[in-house]
Amino acid sequence: MPGTLFIVPTPVGNLDDMTLRAIQTLKDADLILAEDTRTSGVLLRHFGISGKLQSHHKFNEHQTVEIIKQRILGGLNVALISDAGTPGISDPGFLLARTCAEEGIEVQTLPGATACIPAIVSSGLPCDRFCFEGFLPVKKGRQTLLGELARESRTMVFYESPYRLVKTLEQFAEYFGPDRRCSVAREISKIHEEHRRGSLAEVAAWFREHEPKGEIVIVVEGAPKNKK
C-alpha cells in the first residue's frame, strides 16, 4: 500500500508557532525531507525528533523526486519541510507535490506558518482580495512584470532580500507611483519584528537611512480600479 506525502509548515520565527499536529507528523514520518538539514536539525532536536533526515532542495529536487516517489509508492510516509514557512511557497516543494499527485499518491498539506498572511493582515491594506507575487525576477522580465503589476487593483504581496529592499521600493515608486501605500514587514514572529507603513517614497527613504535586516515581506496597495 502506498504511503503519504505530508507537507509540513515550520515556524518562520518563534518555535512556539509549531503546531501539535506538525510535531506528531514529523515524529511518525518514515523520512523527513529538509531544504537545509542543518537548519532543520535544530528544529527537530528542539522537539525531540532524531534521525530520518534527508536533503531536498532546489538544486537536487529534479534528481531525487523520482526516487522519493518510488519510496512513497513502496509504503513510506514522507514529510517535507523547508527552512521556514510552508514548502512550495517560494520554497522547494511544488515539483514533489505535483509528481506525487499525478501518480495518485495522497498529498496532505498541514495548515501552519507562512510569512505572507501575517504581513498582509498587519499592513492595514485591503486583504479581502490580494495577489501573491513572491520574489520578483532579479533581471530578465523584471521591468515587464512591474509594468503589468502597475495596473493590478488587488493588494500585492512580495518577498524580498534585505540587500535589495531599497532598490525594489524605489522601482515600485517609479512604476506604481511614489504615493502608493505600502507596508514592509520584517522578521515576522521574531524578537525584532517590525512593520514600517507609509507611501512607497516614505518607506524607501526610511530604509535608506536604516539598514534593513532579516526576512522581508512587502505589501503594496493596488491601483485604483478606475485608473487604467
The beta-strand segments (E) located in the chain are 4-7, 31-34, 53-55, 78-81, 106-109, 130-135, 155-160, 181-186, 194-199, 216-220
Residues 6+ apart with CB under 8 A from 173: 180, 200, 201, 204
Q: What is the pLDDT of residues 169-178, one digit of tens each?
A: 999 999 999 9
- Measured distance CA(55)–CA(69) in Å, rounded: 15
One of 3.30.70.340, 3.40.50.300, 2.70.150.10, 3.30.950.10 is the CATH number of 116-220, namely: 3.30.950.10
Q: What is the model's pLDDT at position 56?
A: 87
Show pLDDT as tens, one digit a residue, over the chain (228 residues): 899 999 999 999 999 999 999 999 999 999 999 988 999 999 999 999 987 899 888 788 888 899 999 999 999 999 999 999 999 888 888 999 999 999 999 999 999 989 999 999 999 999 999 999 999 998 889 999 999 999 999 999 999 999 999 999 999 999 999 999 999 999 999 999 999 999 999 999 999 999 999 999 999 999 998 754
* Domains in the chain: boundaries: 4-109, 116-220
Yes or no: say if 119 and 194 are a contact pair by the CB < 8 Å rule.
no
Under CATH, which architecture does the 4-109 domain have?
3-Layer(aba) Sandwich (3.40)
What is the structure's pLDDT at 227?
A: 55
